[in-house]
Amino acid sequence: MNSGIGNQEAIEAGRDPEKKEKFLRDSQNYILRMTARITNKSVTISDEEWSVALRAVSSALDSYDDSKGDFWPYAGLIIRSRLTDLYRSNARTKAEISVRPEAFEGNVDEDDPDFQFQMEVREHLGVTAVTENSLKDEIEALQEELGDYGISFFDLAECSPRAEKTRSSCASLIAALFAPPPPLTPKMRKSKTLPVREMLGRVKISRKIVDRYRKYLITSALILDGDYPGLADYLGYVRDKIQERGQAG
């Protein structure tokens, strides 16, 4: 997913009320889709989740700068945190039933007398939705791994594809890393560089794309090949391409 609105626009929107209003208006559909993925359910502008998410993005614009990486992953952290607070608050008031903290971590005791309600909360949050702290942990772990490749996580704002056609090309290149036989990710991890010749032998894409987006390609491959479920949520379009290639093969 990509809203088509970049980091610089977010910075400018945080400084100018009129630009912020336009930013939020232009991003409405993207925010709805992001909120739906976080909550694991369909969300419309009539839902409470929408208003919470919109306020979260507005708050993210107020505090965003280049040091925080790409804007939308940063905004996603705040949306997740605000929605978790919303569900915790609602849970405390629903029939005066106490929601166990474990429900917010995806764990529910079947012997609990309030098992059904605890399950509703767990499912509402989405088992795969990660908390703000766990996503920060993923970023820190990935940052350490990227060091072996001479890449900083926060460099990615400058080397991420923006145009739809370029994003599609990058997704195809990443899919080529995972496609058998054999997958190229082990070779990449061993050499700490992209196996360019083999990749281009599997997909007809210009070498210039590989050279320009090398950091993005490596980082995306490491996320999808590693233990980064929260970060992987932001690469759904790449996973779709990998799946398509696997089915075609």
* pLDDT tens digits for range 52-90: 999 999 999 998 887 778 889 888 888 988 888 787 766
- Residue spans of the domains in the chain: they are 1-93, 96-129, 135-248
In the DSSP assignment, the letter for residue 8 is: H
CA distance 65 to 191: 34
Q: What's the pLDDT score for residue 211? A: 93
DSSP for residue 105: G
Instruction: Confirm if 94 and 181 have CB atoms less than 8 A apart.
Output: no
Q: Supply the pLDDT for residue 112.
A: 46
Contact 1, 238 (CB under 8 A): no
Take residue 156 and report the two structure tokens written for it.
Answer: 């990615």
Q: pLDDT band at 157, cuts 50/70/90?
A: low
CB atoms within 10 A of CB 236: 12
CA angle 144, 62, 158 (to 5 degrees): 40
Give dist(CA 131, CA 78) in Å, integer.
10
- CATH number, domain 1-93, options 1.10.3470, 1.10.1740, 2.30.30, 2.40.128: 1.10.1740
Q: Which two tokens stand for residue 232?
A: 């992987």
* DSSP symbols for 40-66: TS---TTSHHHHHHHHHHHHHHHH--G
For residue 5, name the pLDDT band (cuts at 50, 70, 90).
low
* Residue 165 pLDDT greater than 80, yes or no: yes
b (16+ CB within 10 A) / e for 167-197: bebbbbbbbbbbbeeeebbeebbeeeebbee
Cis peptide bond prior to 101, omega within 30° of 0: no
Which residues have CB under 8 Å from 227's CB, separation 6+?
141
Q: Which alpha helices (DSSP H) does the chain contain, by range?
A: 7-15, 17-26, 28-39, 48-63, 71-93, 115-125, 132-146, 156-159, 164-178, 185-191, 196-202, 207-212, 214-225, 229-232, 236-248
Mean pLDDT computed over every residue of the chain: 78
pLDDT tens by residue, 95-147: 333 334 444 444 444 444 444 444 444 444 443 344 456 777 888 888 889 98
Collapse the DSSP code of 209 into the 3-class scheme (helix H, G, I; strand E, B; otherwise coil) and give the result: helix
